[in-house]
Chains A and B, each alone.
Chain A
Amino acid sequence: MRRVFRLYESTIGKKIVMAVTGVLLVGFVVAHMAGNLKMYAGQEKMDHYGEFLREFAAPVLGHGGFLWVARAILLLAVAAHIRSAILLTRQSQAARDVGYKVTTRRESNYASLSMRWGGVFLAAFIVLHILHFTTGHIHPTFEHGAPYANVVAGFTVWWTAALYILAMIPLGLHLYHGTWSMLQTLGANHPRYNHLRRKIALAVALIVVVGNISFPVAVLTGLIK
């Protein structure tokens, strides 16, 4: 552990923490979107999928145990990710005490320049999302163990659906730069595959954004009811 803390003292160590937690979070959002595609298979399949997640590894972890372990790991990952982001942001801001009068950007793009603010929006969205579909506190008709009905009822409220669609803007941008950035940070670099990294990042971002936007759109258009 001491070695890990030593590494964490350096900027690159903190970047590696952001990248490793980033791998977990990207893996999660991709799997989360893919799992939710069960919405298109109908109420029974979707609710059964929810039940499957609660029962997964139940002999070892107990009923619902897997979900709680997964949630704990993800929350810890988000916390470590945000802590590193804050520390590195402060160091970078201190590193340019006098700014430029004129700035010309050549390689950075909207995604790379919006990582910090985008992250803040994502954090806010994660809180709302948990209160909405996980705990039900801000859901009009929440019922435990009935994800299909909860999603349909949730997105029938047009402005909630709109909020979820809008939230995919910061997520898509964060995923596009984040996926490429994490490969670079972890040193995944080989002359033969390097040209693929931006394409992989774009594919991850597009798949997650298009998939996730389809759910509120499907409810609003009556494709799912």
Chain B
Amino acid sequence: MSETMKLVLNVWRQPDATTKGDFERFEIPDVSPDMSFLEMLDVLNERLTQKGQETIAFDHDCREGICGTCGIVINGVPHGPQKLTTTCQLHMRKFKDGDELWLEPWRSTAFPVIKDLVVDRSSFDRIIQAGGFISVGAGSAPDANAIPIGKEVAEQAMDAAACIGCGACVAACPNASAMLFTAAKVGHLGLLPQGQPERYERVQKMVATMDNENFGACTNHAECEASCPKGISIDFIAMMNRDLLKGAVQHPIELD
């Protein structure tokens, strides 16, 4: 049996996108270090329900670190203090008795708050719609290994494909830039043979959409990489910059 701890939470409460929000303070006297962060919020919400109060809205789905739905900025760090970890995989043993925590939603104009800690990340979907795909004739399933791919390229593409689209990169960036997310998607497809035909068109379309969605401009602070639960490297940003330069000069597309 591990000892319970007492925590103070300051949680961002905002009833809807248009109403002004503010922090609400909660004291929880009996947090078990074995709980996950979201379980701790579940317990708090259950108590709020019993008291007839509005529960805290937060996003979650798989709770095993693979879907990219959860995400809370905890004391200024997206997904909290443990590196390479989503909020749902964070455990309360990372905190100490008496800690005071500030819980905020991802802060970005491109991610408007829907309620409390839940933000609308459909701007990411529109970046994907602009080019985060390959065009193939969809017939029967292709043979595995019909297209040989070198080990190094496969590994690198896999590193980029590990992005779960949670948006922590945007939340962490002092410029609220979406470069790491976009670069991961551009890099993942741009590295593989299946992604080659649309490579230079893709990067231009995805970057144009990223800019239109009101994300900020990267200044290479590298905060995104530090907060990425999948450890996506900013090397993919350099790769995207190079692809965009080449695309814009050699294969310019007409953007509408």
Same complex for A and B? Answer yes
Q: Is the CB of B175 within 8 A of A92?
A: yes
Residues of A within 8 Å of B214, CB to CB, are 91, 94-95
**A185 interface contact, C-beta 8 A:** yes
Residues of B within 8 Å of A3, CB to CB, are 248-249, 252
Q: Is the CB of A88 within 8 A of B217?
A: yes
Residues of A within 8 Å of B207, CB to CB, are 10-12
Q: Is the interface of A mostly helix, strand, loop or mixed?
A: helix
Q: List 22 A-B contacts (CB under 8 A).
A: A3-B248, A3-B249, A10-B208, A10-B248, A11-B207, A11-B216, A11-B217, A13-B248, A14-B217, A91-B214, A92-B216, A92-B219, A97-B109, A100-B76, A102-B102, A104-B75, A106-B223, A107-B221, A177-B220, A184-B220, A187-B245, A191-B235
CB distance from A3 to the nearest CB of B (A): 5
Binding site for A on B (CB under 8 A): 10, 23, 73, 75-77, 102, 104, 107-110, 113, 172, 174-177, 207-208, 210-211, 214-223, 225-227, 234-235, 237-245, 248-249, 252, 255
CB distance from B75 to the nearest CB of A (A): 5
Q: Is the CB of B107 within 8 A of A106?
A: no
Partner of A100, one of B73, B239, B248: B73
Q: Which of A58-66, A108-116, A142-150 contacts B (4 or more CB under 8 A)?
A: A108-116
A11 to B211, CA, bound (A): 7
With A95-B215, A108-B174 as given contacts, are A185 and B107 in contact (CB-CB < 8 Å)?
no
Q: Is the interface of B mostly helix, strand, loop or mixed?
A: mixed
Q: Quick one: closest A residue to B10, CB to CB?
A: A101
Q: Is the CB of B249 within 8 A of A104?
A: no
A177 to B174, CA, bound (A): 15
CB distance from B95 to the nearest CB of A (A): 14
Q: Is the CB of B211 within 8 A of A101?
A: no
Q: Is the CB of A7 within 8 A of B108?
A: no
**A135 interface contact, C-beta 8 A:** no
**A209 interface contact, C-beta 8 A:** no
With A3-B248, A107-B222, A107-B223 as given contacts, are A100 and B107 in contact (CB-CB < 8 Å)?
yes
Contact residues of A between 107 and 153, Cβ < 8 Å to B: 107-108, 112-113, 115
Q: Is the CB of B245 within 8 A of A95?
A: no
Contact residues of A between 1 and 43, Cβ < 8 Å to B: 3, 6-7, 9-16
CB distance from B107 to the nearest CB of A (A): 5
A50 to B28, CA, bound (A): 73
**A222 interface contact, C-beta 8 A:** no
Q: Quick one: closest A residue to B20, CB to CB?
A: A98
Partner of B110, one of A16, A95, A101, A106: A95
A6 to B207, CA, bound (A): 12
Partner of A91, one of B104, B217, B227: B217
Q: Is the CB of A181 within 8 A of B102?
A: no
Binding site for B on A (CB under 8 A): 3, 6-7, 9-16, 88-89, 91-108, 112-113, 115, 177, 180-181, 183-189, 191, 194
A3 to B250, CA, bound (A): 9
A113 to B104, CA, bound (A): 22
CB distance from A45 to the nearest CB of B (A): 40
Pick the 5 closest A-B CB pairs, nearest first. A187-B242, A95-B216, A104-B76, A92-B216, A189-B238
Q: Is the CB of B220 within 8 A of A96?
A: no
Q: Quick one: closest A residue to B215, CB to CB?
A: A95
In the complex, given contacts A104-B75, A187-B238, what are 20 additional A-B residue pairs having Cβ atoms less than 8 angstroms apart?
A: A7-B248, A11-B177, A11-B210, A11-B216, A12-B241, A12-B244, A91-B214, A91-B216, A92-B175, A92-B216, A94-B109, A95-B176, A97-B109, A101-B104, A103-B76, A106-B226, A107-B223, A113-B221, A184-B237, A191-B235
A16 to B245, CA, bound (A): 8
Partner of A185, one of B109, B211, B216, B241: B241
Q: Is the CB of A7 within 8 A of B249?
A: yes
A185 to B217, CA, bound (A): 12
Residues of B within 8 Å of A184, CB to CB, are 220, 234, 237-238, 241
With A11-B211, A95-B214 as given contacts, are A107 and B226 in contact (CB-CB < 8 Å)?
yes
Q: Is the CB of B252 within 8 A of A6?
A: yes
A45 to B244, CA, bound (A): 47
A28 to B221, CA, bound (A): 25
